């Protein structure tokens, strides 16, 4: 069928460009191109409509807000005079994600180096696989593990930090209570973003030109010197974008934070004290009791979260895009 | 000139050492020995000072391990080797540190989950069981998860596949670039935001919460993952195959359907299965859109449903011993589901790998 139709066009069409235009002009091709391009466009439309719809509802909520949406601490849209603001949520989200980054990035780079340069050859592939499995564990399971196993375990560490590093103010524990704090959330988030940071960094490290490493080795460099002189400089942008991808994950994590944190609408730099909140956690916690305005208010806070993750992820992708060869999207 | 100088100075410098090639060095097992010493000392210190937290024991051992490595190597060998040794030991510590939570998580889930897990647990719903008494099961949640994930797959797999085909086979110019970029950005959308988006639609069109609403949110999360993995796989298909088919006069769409896709089908299946495994564990959208139910509801288009991750969250919130047991058992079921999907997917990838792969 198809071959018969294709055999007919060439004779009349003499120049090459004309031939090519004819051969894609068939109905089947048009339909297929239309379908595939259409689904691509649908994806863009989807992104746009997420932004638009969230903005519309958020606008409706913010116009009824009696307080300042950006600087108010409280979250009380059900009151006579509805008052809600994202100050606490923004603080908690950023702080817990930064703690997660500070813990996770060095360790993830270490693991990536371990897999790419230190592990015995036979072990490297299975180890990479184990790290990927860590990424497959659903966040709600991290959540209940964090709340029921990690929190009691961290009690000792917390009192130790309080005793010896309490003078830093940040690690001073002024309230008695279990370790359901932003610090614990940060540790849990660190565990959760380890796999993605690791796998993107690992991909980059594996792409370091072999010649660079061998040249360094031939000059008598130790393994660490090889890594410092040829691997890390080459992989710097990769590490940065990997960390930003991890940051994007940490910012939007819902269940793990909702299970571990005991929320309060206070901003405190005493990271070990229970309390605080994040965007996603607040939505999860407040949704059940929310009325119409309450839901719109939550949508407004979700919009801020959306923009935040969009910026972080977009920046990470732009950095990655400069080197086409690797991308962590399938991680 | 400079060459001569170098050659002149070198022999005297290395001469004091005995035997030019056999420098003093630590044996190969030194690293392991340092590790053992560090752990032993760490545990010793932990015991003597009566530290409660095993986390502290581990941290002390790790620090001791790094210190011992540095000191021993700088005494026996030299500063540069010592630095190298420190880097090696730090990298090992990082790796072991990362294994601890994974092992602990799996171990806890299996140990505590197997308590309530039974045939009854898998075949009964929570109908008539209050949160504080033992009994009940996950049957309704299992049905919910399977249906929601199934619908999400039916929606997003074809769309994702077509988009990937567009990007690899047709895509040139601004549109393709924009799609690529936004697919990448879309992989980073928090699941709760996807849930909120569908929620705005629900509020505007006054729809009722149902399993289908949940699947819509899940498919937003799933689509970019499918696009990315399919794209990677299609790029692996050698161009010679396409050219051969086109040279035989086969139209492009048939080439894609009959040559390109079948070649990459293993990888594509893997990608879709990994994406399923990923969305099967999503809780936040379900919480906003499906509401959860204690009863068996097999119709995803009407009325509240439950799902496995949401069930875990519910049981966690009840906070009784019986509900924790149920929560862990459901977690075990979910983790088994996800892990099996993962293993099978990667098995298929290996089995059906295109010949160009190493």
Q: Do B312 and A144 lie within an 8 Å CB cutoff?
A: yes
Q: How many CB atoms lie within 10 A of CB B40?
A: 12
Nearest-by-CA chain B residue for A319: B181
Chain B contact set for A302 (CB, 8 A): 192-193, 196
CA dihedral of residues B197, B203, B204, B205 (deg, nearest 10): 110
**Residues A230-256 pLDDT 10s:** 899 888 888 888 898 899 889 989 989
Which carries the bigger pLDDT value, residue B66 or residue A326?
B66
**Residues B235-293 pLDDT 10s:** 888 999 999 999 999 988 899 999 999 988 888 998 899 899 889 989 999 988 888 88
- What's the pLDDT band for B218 if we cut at 50, 70, 90? very high
Chain A contact set for B219 (CB, 8 A): none
Which carries the bigger pLDDT value, residue A71 or residue A51?
A51
Beta strands in chain A (DSSP E): 75-76, 83-84
**Residues A290-306 pLDDT 10s:** 888 888 999 999 999 99
* Residue among B80, B167, B254 whose CB faces A222 most closely: B80
* Topology classification of domain B139-351: MetI-like fold (1.10.3720)
- The helix (run of H) or strand (run of E) holding residue A48 is helix A27-64
Contacts with B, A 62-101, CB within 8 Å: none
Query: What is chain A's mean pLDDT, rounded?
Result: 83
* pLDDT for B23: 59
This model of the complex carries an ipTM of: 0.83
Q: Among A207-211, A319-323, B98-102, B334-338, which stretch is predicted with the lowest mean pLDDT? A: A319-323
Q: What is the mean pLDDT of residues A38-67?
A: 91
Contacts with B, A 125-144, CB within 8 Å: 127, 129-134, 136-144
Query: What is chain B's mean pLDDT, rounded?
Result: 84
- The residue among B26, B110, B38 whose CA lies nearest residue B75 is B26
- What's the pLDDT band for A275 if we cut at 50, 70, 90? confident
Concatenated DSSP letters of A142-185:
HHHHIIIIIHHHHHHHHHHHHHHHGGGSTT---S-S-S-BHHHH
| Superfamily name with CATH number, domain A75-321 | MetI-like (1.10.3720.10)
Nearest-by-CA chain A residue for B86: A224
**In the block, residue with structure tokens 């439309």:** A45
Is pLDDT of B21 > 60? Answer: no
Chain A contact set for B90 (CB, 8 A): 110
Q: How many CB atoms lie within 10 A of CB A160?
A: 17
* pLDDT for B53: 65
**Residues B111-151 pLDDT 10s:** 999 988 888 888 888 887 877 788 888 899 999 999 999 99
* pLDDT for A98: 93
* pLDDT for A97: 93
The percent of residues above 90 in pLDDT, for chain B, comes to 30
* Residue among A43, A106, A224 whose CB faces B182 most closely: A43
The residues spanned by each domain of chain B are: 26-115, 139-351
| CA angle B323–B327–B328, rounded 5-degree value | 120
**Residues A156-192 pLDDT 10s:** 778 878 888 878 877 877 777 777 889 999 999 999 9
Is pLDDT of B162 > 70? Answer: yes
Is pLDDT of B14 > 60? Answer: no
Q: Cα(A71)–Cα(B204) distance, rounded to whole angstroms? A: 29
Q: Among A39-48, A249-258, B3-12, B113-122, which stretch is predicted with the lowest mean pLDDT? A: B3-12
- What's the pLDDT band for B354 if we cut at 50, 70, 90? low
Is pLDDT of A124 > 60? Answer: yes
Which carries the bigger pLDDT value, residue A214 or residue A80?
A214
- What's the pLDDT band for B353 if we cut at 50, 70, 90? low
β-partners of residue A157 are: none
* pLDDT for B22: 54
- What's the pLDDT band for B52 if we cut at 50, 70, 90? low
β-partners of residue A328 are: none
- The residue among A133, A212, A220, A11 whose CA lies nearest residue B346 is A133
């Amino acid at each position: 069928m198809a071959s018969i139709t294709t055999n007919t066009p060439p004779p009349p069409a003499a120049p090459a460009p004309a031939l090519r235009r004819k051969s894609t002009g068939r109905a089947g091709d048009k339909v297929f191109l239309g379908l595939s391009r259409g689904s691509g466009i649908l994806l863009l439309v989807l992104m746009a409509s997420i932004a638009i719809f969230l903005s519309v509802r958020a606008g409706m909520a913010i116009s009824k807000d009696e307080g300042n949406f950006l600087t108010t601490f409280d979250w009380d849209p059900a009151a006579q005079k509805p008052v809600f603001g994202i100050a606490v949520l923004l603080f908690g989200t950023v702080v817990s994600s930064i703690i997660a980054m500070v813990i996770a990035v060095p360790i993830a780079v270490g693991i990536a180096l371990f897999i790419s340069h230190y592990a015995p050859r036979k072990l490297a592939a299975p180890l990479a696989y184990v790290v990927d499995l860590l990424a497959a564990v659903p966040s709600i399971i991290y959540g209940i593990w964090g709340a029921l196993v990690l929190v009691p375990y961290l009690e000792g560490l917390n009192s130790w930090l309080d005793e010896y590093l309490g003078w830093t103010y940040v690690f001073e524990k002024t309230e008695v209570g279990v370790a359901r704090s932003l610090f614990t959330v940060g540790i849990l988030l660190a565990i959760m973003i380890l796999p993605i940071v690791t796998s993107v960094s690992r991909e980059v490290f594996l792409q370091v030109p072999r010649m660079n490493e061998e040249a360094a080795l031939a000059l008598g460099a130790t393994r660490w010197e090889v890594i410092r002189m040829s691997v890390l400089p080459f992989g710097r942008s990769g590490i940065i974008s990997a960390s930003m991808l991890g940051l994007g994950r940490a910012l939007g994590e819902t269940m793990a934070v909702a299970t571990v944190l005991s929320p309060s609408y206070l901003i405190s730099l005493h990271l070990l004290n229970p309390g605080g909140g994040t965007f996603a956690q607040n939505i999860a916690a407040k949704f059940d009791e929310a009325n119409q305005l309450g839901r719109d208010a939550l949508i407004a806070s979700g919009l801020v979260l959306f923009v935040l993750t969009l910026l972080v992820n977009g920046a990470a992708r732009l950095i990655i895009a400069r080197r086409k060869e690797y991308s962590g999207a399938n991680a | 000139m400079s060459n001569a100088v170098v050659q002149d100075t070198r022999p005297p410098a290395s001469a004091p050492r005995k035997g030019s090639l056999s420098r003093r060095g630590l044996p190969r097992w030194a690293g392991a020995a340092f590790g053992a010493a560090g752990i032993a000392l760490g545990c010793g210190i932990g015991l003597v000072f009566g530290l409660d937290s095993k986390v502290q024991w581990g941290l002390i051992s790790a620090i001791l391990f790094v210190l011992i490595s540095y000191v021993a190597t700088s005494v026996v060998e030299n500063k540069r080797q010592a630095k190298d040794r420190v880097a090696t030991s730090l990298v090992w510590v990082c790796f072991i540190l990362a294994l601890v939570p994974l092992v602990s998580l799996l171990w806890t889930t299996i140990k505590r989950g197997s308590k309530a897990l039974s045939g009854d647990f898998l075949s009964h719903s929570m109908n008539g069981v209050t949160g504080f008494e033992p009994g009940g099961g996950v049957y309704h949640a299992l049905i919910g998860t399977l249906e929601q994930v199934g619908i999400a797959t039916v929606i997003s797999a074809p769309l994702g596949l077509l988009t990937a085909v567009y990007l690899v086979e047709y895509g040139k110019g601004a549109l393709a670039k924009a799609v690529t970029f936004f697919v990448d950005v879309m992989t980073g959308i928090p699941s709760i935001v996807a849930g909120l988006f569908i929620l705005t639609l629900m509020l505007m069109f006054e729809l009722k919460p149902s399993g289908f609403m949940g699947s819509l949110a899940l498919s937003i999360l799933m689509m970019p993952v499918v696009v990315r993995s399919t794209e990677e796989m299609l790029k692996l298909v050698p161009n010679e195959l396409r050219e051969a088919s086109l040279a035989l006069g086969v139209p492009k769409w048939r080439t894609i359907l009959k040559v390109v896709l079948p070649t990459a089908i293993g990888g594509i299946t893997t990608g879709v299965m990994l994406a399923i495994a990923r969305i099967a564990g999503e809780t936040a959208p379900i919480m906003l859109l499906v509401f959860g139910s204690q009863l068996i509801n097999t119709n995803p288009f009407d009325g509240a449903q439950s799902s496995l991750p949401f069930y875990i969250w519910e049981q966690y919130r009840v906070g009784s011993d019986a509900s924790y047991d149920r929560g862990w058992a459901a977690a075990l079921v979910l983790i088994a589901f996800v892990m099996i999907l993962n293993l099978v997917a990667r098995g298929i990838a290996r089995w059906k790998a295109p010949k160009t792969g190493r």
